[in-house]
Copies of this chain bind each other. A is one copy, B any other.
Amino acid sequence: MSKSSKYVPQIVVRRLPRYYRHISELRDMGVERISSKELAEKMGLTASQIRQDFNCFGGFGQQGYGYNIEQLHKTIHSILGLDRGYKTVIIGAGNLGHAIANYPGFQRRGFNLVGIFDNSADVCGTVINGLTVKHIDTIEEEFEALKPDIVILTVKKQSAHDIVERICPLGIKGIWNFSHMELKVPDGIKIENVHLSESLMTLSHAISEIE
């Protein structure tokens, strides 16, 4: 099953990480197989939605048997690129940078944190999760050695633009952007913006509906 063999709608791709999370939990619990109906109940989806989504990747199930969790896990793992061992660096060692550096989940998902950068003298030289924070001025030479694939950008809005201009020519493939700034990047570099407040607003809406 080649993942580039057919077009997969973006909306299905967006659901894959959620499938992966639930499948990983089932796998950790020792579950060996699950029907689309059971998985649908667990995830709050419909069984036909799940079958339709998985069919985009050639389908993972056998009629009357359900899905093999191990195989499903392995395939989605690979489709998501989690088997590539992508190297990440964090730029911005503030509270959020610290929180991300210390979150074991990213390592477990196959991401490899190889460097942390900041521009504050107070933070540079300190050690976070085994990595010494380097000054942002050394970024060109450090990136040449580290060869990171993904930059996790946890700097303030004001510095984001300048940093992105500096790092884009250094061979990175993607930016995970927490800077609350819409960033323009050259073709060939992917960007994923995190807007935490959107999730809080969704909660606010849900609460206001029941009042």
Contacts and interface: CB of A to CB of B under 8 A. Distances in A.
Interface of A: 3-4, 13-14, 16-18, 20-21, 79-82, 84, 86, 94-96, 98-100, 102-103, 105-106, 109, 111, 149-150, 173-174, 176, 180, 188, 190-192, 194-211
9 contacts: A17-B202, A18-B195, A21-B198, A80-B201, A95-B98, A149-B207, A173-B210, A176-B199, A192-B202
Contacts of A191: 203
A13 B202 contact: yes
A149 B102 CA distance: 29
B180 A203 contact: no
A125 to B, nearest CB: 18
Nearest to A105: B197
Given A80-B208, A105-B180, A203 B192 contact: yes
A37 B137 CA distance: 42
Contacts of A81: 204-205, 207-209
Given A86-B204, A150-B203, A210 B188 contact: yes
B94 A201 contact: no
A69 to B, nearest CB: 17
B95 A208 contact: no
